[in-house]
Structure 1
Amino acid sequence: MGRLLRWMALAALMAALLAGLVACGPPRKSVFPPSVSIQEVSLRPNGQWQLTLRIQNNSYGGMDFRSIDGELKVADLVPVRLHTRFDLDIPAFAADVTQINLLPTPEMTAALKATASKGSAGSLAYSVSGNTSAQPEQEKAARDFTFHDNDWLSPVPGIPNTWR
């Protein structure tokens, strides 16, 4: 009889432990802010710039990116607004691109064109900053992530009106 009670107590303890482990669910994946940078700028005949924005998911799980709202600043000139909506499902530690057309200030266009005469030795500082809306795979709603990037644009040899 004592042996039976010990086995029943052990079985009850194991059932409680198993129920506790099942309640825990899958482990949560760490979520980190993404990186947003300019991959390419193309000057269009109508004066617009076509930006190819690179979005790097720095999280341990996939994220569904939906929009960007921020600003682009070239050199020390007045910034212009970056805003676009899209739907990109980016896996963990991967990147994807989206394109956005914007109308720059005349000073921005002049500064960009001035680098073209210098060839690949020419460069122009830029910064992008703002928020991107994304939904991590284990969350029920999207949230905003802040981004900020500083880098340089240089003319692409052999491809007119294009900078990277």
Structure 2
Amino acid sequence: MRWTRGLALALCALILAACTGGPVKRVSEPAARIQQLTVRADGSWSAELRIENFSSIPMRFDRFDLALSLGEDAAGRLQGTPALSIGPESADVVVVTLQPNGPAKLAIADALSARRSVSYTLKGSLTATPDEKKQRDFDVQRSSALSPAPGLPGVLR
């Protein structure tokens, strides 16, 4: 009888000790990429910027300032203050309007008419506040490519 009570007490203590740790709260570098770029009738671009939170906790994204380059040439800046909360290991999209420079407009028009991809680079920073923590600036550098979307004139994905 004593042995059983001692075993039960030890088991309860072990269970309580296991409950104290909780999940690990990890803050990881977020990322940003262009999900879709649409050429508008007025010559400006509408960029769907996908912000990815790789942390194990929610983060609120307060600002972004990203230089956009097409190939080696600067195209303009994607800037905004979305005040967007993104859950752990999730992503969300922010739409940003950009007035590109002349060479960038030509590069995109050429890619659309030739139905070919165009490489791009985003470089800058995301300002975010991890859940219950201090606001931080994260450096972002992403290189990828956009291709014309079939059946959607003026759209690259």
Q: Same fold (TM over 0.5)?
A: yes
CA distance in 1, matches of 2:78, 2:139: 14
SS in 1 for 2:74: coil
Q: TM-score, normalised by structure 2?
A: 0.83
Amino acid at match of 2:85: D
Which residue number corresponds to residue 49 of structure 1? 45
Would the aligned equivalents of 2:70 and 2:120 in 1 still touch at CA under 8 Å? Answer: yes
| Alignment match of 2:28 (pick from 29, 32, 39) | 32
| Alignment match of 1:144 (pick from 137, 140, 153) | 137
Q: Over aligned residue pairs, what C-alpha RMSD do you find?
A: 1.9
CA distance in 1, matches of 2:110, 2:69: 16
1:82-126 CA distances to partner (integer Å, 9 max, x unpaired)?
Answer: 21111211111100000111110111111111111233xx01010
| Alignment match of 1:94 (pick from 78, 90, 106) | 90
CA distance in 2, matches of 1:27, 1:162: 42
Question: Unaligned regions of 5+ residues in structure 2, if any?
Answer: 1-15
Would the aligned equivalents of 1:131 and 1:145 in 2 still touch at CA under 8 Å? Answer: yes
CA distance in 2, matches of 1:133, 1:117: 37
CA distance in 1, matches of 2:99, 2:113: 22
2:123 matched to 1:129? Answer: yes
Task: Provide closer, same or farther for how the CA distance between residues 125 and 102 of structure 1 changes in structure 2, counting only shifts above 3 A.
Answer: same
1:125-145 CA distances to partner (integer Å, 9 max, x unpaired)?
Answer: 100011111110131x31111
Higher deviation after alignment, 125-134 or 73-82: 73-82
SS in 2 for 1:78: strand
Which residue number corresponds to residue 157 of structure 1? 150
2:84 matched to 1:77? Answer: no
Equivalent pairs, count: 140
Question: Unaligned regions of 5+ residues in structure 1, if any?
Answer: 1-17, 19-23
CA distance in 2, matches of 1:77, 1:147: 18
The CA deviation at 1:27 is 6.0
CA distance in 2, matches of 1:27, 1:126: 37
Would the aligned equivalents of 2:46 and 2:95 in 1 still touch at CA under 8 Å? Answer: yes
Would the aligned equivalents of 1:28 and 1:138 in 2 still touch at CA under 8 Å? Answer: no
SS in 1 for 2:28: coil
Larger-Rg structure = 1
Q: TM-score, normalised by structure 1?
A: 0.79
